[in-house]
């Protein structure tokens, strides 16, 4: 299932920024996205880098871990939403982080995915967010 968006009348691949402090989680997400024809335009390992890369790359979508060094995913969501109130951010969390997920949604994240995640779940959530 390829995920696309309209830009100036042309069908273009979605551009995604992956944010997670764990390299293996970024790699897993990148593999899932690329196998579906989704372009990964950048990666960040903490919330501070996420905000910088968002500003630099203007992705269509961000996948954001919650707990990271330097700046949390929740703080990064707030900062990105201050830059772009239309930003599409999906929070990636582990079980037991429900209160943090709620806080991230209140800060502006559109959806969440619980780790460990399946390809189908990731693509379903991305499709939902991109079509909302």
| CATH code, 25 | 3.40.50.2300
Q: Which domain holds residue 113?
A: 4-130
- pTM exceeds 0.85, yes or no: yes
Per-residue tens of pLDDT for the chain, all 132 residues = 445 554 443 335 789 999 999 999 999 999 999 988 889 999 999 999 999 999 999 999 999 999 888 999 999 999 999 999 999 999 998 867 778 888 888 989 998 998 888 899 999 899 889 887
As for how many domains the chain has, the answer is 1
DSSP state of 58: -
CA angle in degrees (0–180, nearest 5) for 7-11-14:
75
Query: Do β-strands 4-7 and 61-65 pair in parallel, antiparallel, or remain unpaired?
Result: unpaired
* 3 close to 127: Cβ distance less than 8 angstroms: yes
pLDDT at 4: 52
């Amino acid at each position: 299932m390829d995920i696309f968006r309209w830009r100036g009348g042309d069908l273009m691949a979605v551009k995604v920024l992956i944010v997670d402090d764990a390299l293996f989680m970024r790699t897993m997400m990148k593999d899932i996205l690329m196998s579906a024809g989704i372009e990964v335009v950048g990666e960040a390992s903490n919330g501070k880098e996420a905000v910088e890369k968002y500003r630099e790359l203007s992705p269509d979508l961000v996948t954001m871990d919650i707990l990271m060094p330097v700046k949390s995913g929740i703080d990064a969501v707030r900062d990105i939403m201050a830059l772009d109130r239309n930003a599409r951010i999906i929070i990636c969390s582990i079980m037991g982080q429900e209160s943090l997920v709620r806080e991230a949604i209140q800060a502006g994240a559109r959806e969440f995915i619980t780790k460990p995640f399946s390809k189908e779940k990731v693509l379903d959530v991305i499709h939902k967010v991109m079509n909302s």
